[in-house]
Amino acid sequence: MGLIKNLIKPEKQTITALDGVTFTVRKGEFVAYAGPNGAGKSTTMKLLAGMLLPNSGDISVLSLSPQKQRILLMQRLGILFGNRTELWWDHPVIQSFEWKKVVWGISDEMYKKNLATVVELLDIGNLLKTFARELSLGQRMRADLAMMLLHSPEIILLDEPTLGLDVVAKRQMIDFLKRINRENGVTIMVTSHDMDDLEEMAQRILMISAGKIAFDGNFHDLRSLTGNLTRVAVTMEKGFIPEIENGNLLSSDNGIYEYDVDLAQMPVRGLLSQLSAVKGVRDVEIKKAPIEQVIAGLYRDWDSGKNESTYGSRL
């Protein structure tokens, strides 16, 4: 019965992917775009690149409308999805590059110059003659990134470019992106689930939750949003247990006690004087809470829906 019903009257569900999202990115900015799964990150990227049409609202990229002037825009914009490749599967990498040269109408001069640059910076010289299907994930991402840069895009949109990359490949990619942002003034917008990567790359972070912009600012502000959490690790001599007021004990292992301390509630001075009073302290380490943890806290809050409006008004 279900099958027939589906045929006659398919069940359709309308989902509001983005709702009242407004933001401006200046030229040369490096913006991180983060949010939980299904929040609308990729949808935003696709809208900016003219791949989807919005039901309502205006989008302007490089003073062009992605929906009406897509062809012009695509000459100046580069977009890369980490989960798919634009390389020709059954051809060597260099063949895909040459295809791109023709399709994008890149001049010989620009092509040569850009090819030399990406080959050097991304270290793909020995991959050029390899078939795309034979590349490892990290190599493929580098080749994809190189291909995207061949037409000297002024804006780069990256959707999860570090997906599945190992530490070295990730490092390479982050350094490269920072470099082209700094030296060539390329505007970059990048989404990722790895907050540490984002913090290292971007100056500004836009956070989206359930189709709405939930945070827009720098990483420092993002931290203070959740109450400036600080991680304190105290190494004790045997037989001593530290006691810290307002501290939230996270773990104790082999004499090392880790606490979460909210510096908004207790200033550093207070914390230090407390620690100096404790007996048997061998070592103290104070560091910022990992951004991952901050984000996880935010996501949980958003999920339960209690703070959505509060954060908005605090900005």
Partner 1 sequence: MVVKLTFKCKRLISLFAISAKMDLVWLLRDTKFAFTAILADTISNLSVVSSVYLIALRFGGIGGMSVDEVLFMMAYSTVTTGIFILFGSGNNIHISRIIGRGQLEHLFVQPLSLKTQLITSGFSPFTGSGNFIIGCILLVIAILPACVCADDSARGKLYFQERTELLCQKRLQQICALRISPLMYAMLRRPSRNGSTTIPAWGL
**102 interacts with partner 1 by CB under 8 A:** yes
Instruction: Point out which span in 19-27, 69-77, 191-199, 303-311 binds partner 1 (CB under 8 A).
Output: 69-77
**99 interacts with partner 1 by CB under 8 A:** yes
Q: How open is the CA angle 40-41-45, to the nearest 5 degrees?
A: 115
Instruction: Point out which span in 31-39, 87-95, 165-173, 184-192 binds partner 1 (CB under 8 A).
Output: 87-95
By C-beta, is 90 or 253 nearer to partner 1? 90
**54 interacts with partner 1 by CB under 8 A:** no
Q: What is the CA radius of gyration of the chain?
A: 24
**71 interacts with partner 1 by CB under 8 A:** yes
Q: Count the site residues for partner 1 by CB under 8 A.
A: 27
By C-beta, is 78 or 242 nearer to partner 1? 78
Instruction: Point out which span in 88-96, 167-175, 252-260, 297-305 binds partner 1 (CB under 8 A).
Output: 88-96
Pick from 90, 108, 109, 183 the residue near partner 1 by CB under 8 A: 90
In angstroms, the Cα distances linking 69 to 26, 115, 176 are 20, 27, 30
Instruction: Point out which span in 48-56, 119-127, 207-215, 276-284 binds partner 1 (CB under 8 A).
Output: 48-56
263-302 positions binding partner 1, by CB under 8 A = none
Pick from 88, 231, 290, 308 the residue near partner 1 by CB under 8 A: 88
Pick from 29, 59, 62, 104 the residue near partner 1 by CB under 8 A: 104
Q: Exposed, middle or buried: residue 52 (CB in 10 Å: 0-12, 13-18, 19+)?
A: middle
184: which 2 tokens? 């060539």
Instruction: Point out which span in 89-97, 208-216, 230-238, 305-313 binds partner 1 (CB under 8 A).
Output: 89-97
**72 interacts with partner 1 by CB under 8 A:** yes
- N-terminal to C-terminal alpha carbon distance within the chain: 52
**74 interacts with partner 1 by CB under 8 A:** yes
**Phi/psi-derived region of residue 196, left when phi > 0, alpha when psi is between -120 and 50, beta in every other case:** alpha
**50 interacts with partner 1 by CB under 8 A:** yes
**204 interacts with partner 1 by CB under 8 A:** no
x-or-dash pattern for partner 1, window 105-144, by CB under 8 A? x---------------------------x-----------
**84 interacts with partner 1 by CB under 8 A:** yes
Which spans of this chain sit near partner 1 (rule: CB under 8 A)? 46, 49-52, 70-75, 79, 81, 84, 86, 88-91, 95, 98-99, 102-105, 133
